[in-house]
Amino acid sequence: MNLSAKMPAKSEGFTLAENFKDWQNGYNNLADFEKDIAAISSVIVVILESAGSLAELGLFFANDALRQKMIVVVHSQHHLNESFIKFGILKPLEADKEESVLVYEIDSDNIDDVEESEVEDILEEVWGISEKIDKTSLFDTSNHGHSIFLTFQIIDLFTILTKSEIENYLSSLGVHFTKRQLQSALYILTKFKLLKQEKRSSQTFYFVPPEISDRVDLAFRKDGNRRYDSRAIKLEVLEYYRAEGTSNRSFKNRMNLWGRHVEVSP
């Protein structure tokens, strides 16, 4: 698609899978990578413009949870053609939710003729659909996307952690990632700009930039009340880091990172 088109307001959350050129740093295969992207996304947009997009369409459609998030953008002619794609995938999607299939005149075979305004129309419509979606759900340990968000929440609460610390905290909560699964979770959270990482001495630390710390919140119960006071926990963690930093180089490094990347006014 023509990426020179202007993105709609408040569209910082749009992420293109094509931007993840180094996905092998976090995953053994492309299918697992794409499923994890979908698992932590509110909306999955598939633009039917290539053989690869057809494979993605089948991958996501076969997963009940991911199917509910799908929006398929298709050229009008392909939407009219009587084919397996139309009757096996597009029609069932439309039957469940009409806005799951968006039909346009954009022809990927003549991409140079596509107007920016046409692409902007698609972006605006996708944004409008995503705005109406309820992005809250009950935590489910069998949902891999939820486990990835739990990883984010742990790092957010304890502010600056090493990989081994994250692994230990997850294990204590009953989430037992393999080392590769943890690497995948950290990779995708970093690529979605929910996390940053920086190495100090021999240790790599992971932390949540303060401007996006409200993107995920697992502190609420089903009844709407909070399980814990995240702000109070963060202040306790800060005091602990300060105390340990007087004699422990690792915590001194954390405080240095805190001051440069994480610190917010109380």
Could you report the per-residue pLDDT of 33-89, keeping only the tens digit for each? 878 888 888 888 888 877 678 888 888 888 887 888 899 998 888 788 888 888 899
Encoded amino acid at 256, one letter: N
Strand 160-162: give its sheet, edge to edge: 160-162, 203-207, 196-200
**C-alpha dist (Å) from residue 246 to 21, 162, 183, 239, 255:** 41, 19, 31, 11, 10
pLDDT band at 218 (very low <50, low <70, confident <90, very high): low
Is pTM, for the whole model, over 0.95? no
Q: Give the residue, 51 or 121, on which the prediction is more confident.
A: 121
The confidence score (pLDDT) of residue 167 equals 95
Question: What is the SS3 assignment for 124?
Answer: helix
The confidence score (pLDDT) of residue 111 equals 67
Q: Give the residue, 106 or 148, on which the prediction is more confident.
A: 148
Contact by Cβ (8 Å): 34, 20:
no
The confidence score (pLDDT) of residue 164 equals 94
d(CA 181, CA 170): 12
Q: Rounded to the nearest 5°, which phi and psi values hold at 23?
A: -55, -25
Encoded amino acid at 266, one letter: P
Q: Give the residue, 116 or 181, on which the prediction is more confident.
A: 181
Encoded amino acid at 240, one letter: Y
Domains delineated in the chain: 17-132 (no CATH), 144-262 (1.10.10.10)
Residue 8 has pLDDT above 70, yes or no: no
Report angle CA 41, 46, 196 to the nearest 5 degrees: 35
Mean pLDDT of the 220-224 span: 64
Across the chain, mean pLDDT equals: 81
Output b/e per residue, 15-46; b: 16+ Cβ within 10 A: eebeebeebeebbeebebbbbbbbbbbebbbb
DSSP lists the bridge partners of residue 70 as 44
The confidence score (pLDDT) of residue 185 equals 94
**C-alpha dist (Å) from residue 115 to 110, 125, 201, 266:** 11, 16, 50, 48
